[in-house]
Chains A and B, each alone.
Chain A
Amino acid sequence: MPLSDRELIESILDGQITITPLMNATEQIGRSSIDVRLGTEFKLIRRIKQTHFDLDLPLDTLKEQVQEYTEQVHIRPLEPFVLHPGEFALASTLEYIALSRSVVGRLEGRSTWGRAGLQIHSTAGLIDPGFEGTLTFELHNLGKLPLPLFAGVRIAQIIFDRCTPAVEKYADKPGAKYAKSLEIEDTRFYASSRTSPGRGGPPGRAVEILNGFPYLLAQSCRKGEKPDDSRGQLFQTLRAVS
């Protein structure tokens, strides 16, 4: 159940939720959500000649290719960033957000901007328990008019829920890709979607491990054993490739 205004204030006082700077709490804390503001960094998708990303390339090369694909824009205070119709850009919150392990958040748009055709996120609205950092918006102008966006504008809201404390904090999770970030991170889809370690590694090894994993996991669970060293290594390998 979403936290109400009173519970939100209580959570801020207890340090369960940190949102800073909280410039105008009277306006920002709603009945069951907290408004967040737009930051100064944007990343635009560039048109490039490349037809696709070859996931078999080494990770560093892929990372460089993704960086070429995006253009970073920094706006000054009181200077607009204009998002044209149909354009997509990554942006970040002005606020730094930290959640305890027993609070989960969900990013949502605000009605005012929704009516103007601005989509705040396409798919990634969940904020994990224990998350720390600035949030990334996936801005998309679905309307017919260019939208001037200023840093500091209240552009989105977060709805919070309680959960039983997560064992692992988001930042402590191996492979947590966007933890403790103060900047907009480029997509690291290649780190999630690779099914082989890339050229230079044993071909097909990761696929082999992935295929064998459900069987090994089921076997461990049936026996009720702690994973031995080799299985521990397997876990690590899996985390590295998936």
Chain B
Amino acid sequence: MRRWAEEIYCDLFAAEALGPAYLASFSTFALTQAGAGGAEEASKTHPADIVRICAIHDVLQKRGLILPLAEPWSQYQDVSGFFFNMVEERTKLDRKYTRSGAPSPQVHLVLEDFVDVICEEIDQLDSLKRPLTSADLSRIGRLVDRLSKGIPIASHHDPGLIEKAKLGVKRKDLGSQEIGDLKKAVEEPRTLLWEIVNAGWVYKIQNVYPKAFNLFFESNEAPLQEKIVGWGHELEVTDKLLLKSIESSEIQRLMEERLGNAAI
């Protein structure tokens, strides 16, 4: 039970830090890794996937991160629909346990007490503690655009400042103060980890995963194995882009912390 608690704690921590991307990521993982017993099978070390998904779903709901499922997150449902349906089935599962009289430790653990306790604990952490806003969504959209051009997303422009600067740069009488302001406008604040990961998932769901379905139906005569390798390569390229973004963003954070923005 202690080990299960650790696993659930990690799940909730990740959900808190990464938002809906973690639910999409874990659901995909569970979908591909499900053992013979499927999502309901637990082991000594890990609770059943369905329980973990319920817990992640709960914490996201509590934070207002998936209700309502706004675009582009609603598309996670396409990928993890199977598990989302299972979440719907959760009450039936509860009922099943109650009727049979068998103990339902997993369901009880997650749904009754544990989530609240952990949420309180996680509240102490300095991470995403507010519902997503439309500004968040449009920033994620811009990051997805950048990814589609193959550009890392460790930082991003402020579109408002850019538009203003486009007008300012045309002025003939630019002095050092104005040039300084223009430089500030093209400066890029760092992208936060949860933004990178969420943009990465949205990009994959919109652009990379649909191609996986085509592998089976396209008329191309190439062997399936070869096509899967090609598709896997594309996925790898995206992951490298995301890892590079995370690393650069982290370097920027550490440098700002240590030296202050003016000195870096």
Contact = CB atoms under 8 A, between A and B. Distances in A.
Contacts, number: 89
Contact of A152 (B151, B244, B255): B255
Interface in B226-264: 240-241, 244, 247-252, 254-255, 258, 261-262, 264
B142 interface: no
B252 A78 contact: no
Given A20-B188, A23-B188, A24-B261, A9 B183 contact: yes
Contacts of B264: 23-24, 27, 152
B65 interface: no
A27 B259 CA distance: 14
Given A5-B179, A24-B264, A132-B150, A77 B250 contact: yes
A48 interface: no
Majority SS at the chain B contact face: helix
A96 interface: yes
Interface residues of B, number: 34
Contact of A151 (B152, B166, B180, B251): B251
Contacts of A26: 180, 183-184, 187, 262
A12 B262 CA distance: 21
30 contacts: A5-B183, A6-B169, A6-B174, A9-B179, A9-B182, A9-B186, A13-B165, A20-B152, A20-B188, A21-B152, A21-B190, A21-B252, A22-B186, A22-B187, A23-B188, A23-B264, A24-B264, A25-B183, A25-B184, A25-B187, A25-B188, A26-B180, A29-B183, A77-B250, A77-B251, A77-B254, A94-B248, A94-B251, A96-B151, A182-B240
Interface of B: 150-152, 154-155, 162, 165-166, 169, 174, 179-180, 182-184, 186-188, 190, 240-241, 244, 247-252, 254-255, 258, 261-262, 264
